[in-house]
Structure 1
Amino acid sequence: MNAGSLSMPPAPQCSFASDNAAGVLPEVLDAMVAANEGCALAYGEDPWTTRAESALADLFGGAAAVALCWGGTGANVVGLACLLGPGEAVICAEEAHIAVDEGGAPERFTGSKLLTVPTPDGKLRPDDVLAVLYALGNQHHAQPGVVSITQSTERGTLYRPDEIAAVAEVAHDHGLHVHLDGARIANAAAALDGDLRSFTTDAGVDVVSFGGTKNGLMYGDAVVVLEPAVARVLPFVRKQTTQLASKMRFLGAQFEALLADDLWLRTAGHANAMARRLADRLDGVQGVQVTGTPDVNATFVQLPSAAAVAELQAWSFVWEWEPARHEIRAMTSFATTIDDVDRFAAGIAAVAAQHG
Structure 2
Amino acid sequence: MSQHAARHPEASESHVSFPAPRAFASDNWSGAHPEVLEAIAAANTGHVAAYGGDPYTERFRELARRLFGEESEAFPVFNGTGANVLALQAALPRWGAVICARTAHINTDEAGAPEKTGGLKLFGIDTPDGKLTPELVAHEAWGYGSEHRSQPLAVSISQVTELGTVYTPSEIRALSEQAHELGMVLHVDGSRIANAAAHLGVSLAEAAAGADLLSLGGTKNGLLGAEAVIVLRDGAAAGIPFLRKIDLQLASKMRFISAQLVALYDGDLWLRSASRANELAQRLASGIRSLESEIEGVRIAQPVESNAVFVELPPEVAERARAAFTFGAWPTQPGLYRLMCSFDTAEADIEGLLAAISGSPATTAAE
Settle same-fold status: TM greater than 0.5.
yes
CA displacement 1:207-262 (0-9 Å, x = unmatched): 00000000000111100001201353221121111100000010011111111321
CA distance in 2, matches of 1:199, 1:329: 23
Matched, 1:86 2:122: no
| 1:344 alignment counterpart | 353
Matched, 1:225 2:235: no
Q: How does 1:1-356 map to 2 (within 5 A)?
A: 13-200=21-208, 203-285=209-291, 286-287=294-295, 288-305=298-315, 307-321=316-330, 324-350=333-359
CA distance in 2, matches of 1:267, 1:194: 15
CA distance in 2, matches of 1:79, 1:23: 27
Shift of 1:322: 5.4
CA distance in 2, matches of 1:229, 1:322: 38
Aligned residues: 337
After TM superposition, the score normalised by the length of structure 1 is 0.91
Moved more, 171-180 or 230-239: 230-239
CA displacement 1:179-233 (0-9 Å, x = unmatched): 0000001000111113222242xx3210000000000001111000012013532
Shift of 1:325: 4.2
CA distance in 2, matches of 1:74, 1:243: 6
The answer as to whether partners of 1:276 and 1:293 remain within 8 angstroms in 2 is no
Shift of 1:327: 1.4
- Structure 1 counterpart SS, 2:318: helix
| Closer, same or farther: CA 336–228 of 1 in aligned 2, 3 Å | same
Q: Give unpaired runs (5+ residues) of structure 2.
A: 1-19, 361-367
Query: Counterpart amino acid of 1:207?
Result: L
The answer as to whether partners of 1:274 and 1:341 remain within 8 angstroms in 2 is yes
- Structure 2 counterpart SS, 1:134: coil
After TM superposition, the score normalised by the length of structure 2 is 0.89
Shift of 1:33: 0.8
CA distance in 2, matches of 1:257, 1:195: 17
The answer as to whether partners of 1:217 and 1:254 remain within 8 angstroms in 2 is yes
The answer as to whether partners of 2:301 and 2:310 remain within 8 angstroms in 1 is yes
Query: Counterpart amino acid of 2:313?
Result: L
CA distance in 1, matches of 2:334, 2:355: 21
| 1:7 alignment counterpart | none
Alpha-carbon RMSD: 1.5
Query: Counterpart amino acid of 1:134?
Result: W
CA distance in 2, matches of 1:263, 1:194: 15
Shift of 1:311: 3.4
Moved more, 101-110 or 281-290: 281-290
The answer as to whether partners of 2:320 and 2:356 remain within 8 angstroms in 1 is no
Moved more, 309-318 or 178-187: 309-318
Q: Flag the structure with larger Rg.
A: 2
| Closer, same or farther: CA 323–236 of 1 in aligned 2, 3 Å | closer
CA distance in 1, matches of 2:333, 2:71: 47
The answer as to whether partners of 1:151 and 1:159 remain within 8 angstroms in 2 is yes
CA distance in 1, matches of 2:63, 2:356: 42
The answer as to whether partners of 2:91 and 2:237 remain within 8 angstroms in 1 is no
CA displacement 1:85-136 (0-9 Å, x = unmatched): 1211100000000000000001111111110000000000001111112222
Query: Counterpart amino acid of 1:113?
Result: K
Identity, % of aligned pairs?
45
Shift of 1:82: 1.3
Higher relative contact order (CA 8 A, sep 6+): 1
CA distance in 2, matches of 1:270, 1:198: 20
| 2:9 alignment counterpart | none
CA distance in 1, matches of 2:358, 2:69: 46
Moved more, 113-122 or 52-61: 52-61
The answer as to whether partners of 2:160 and 2:195 remain within 8 angstroms in 1 is yes
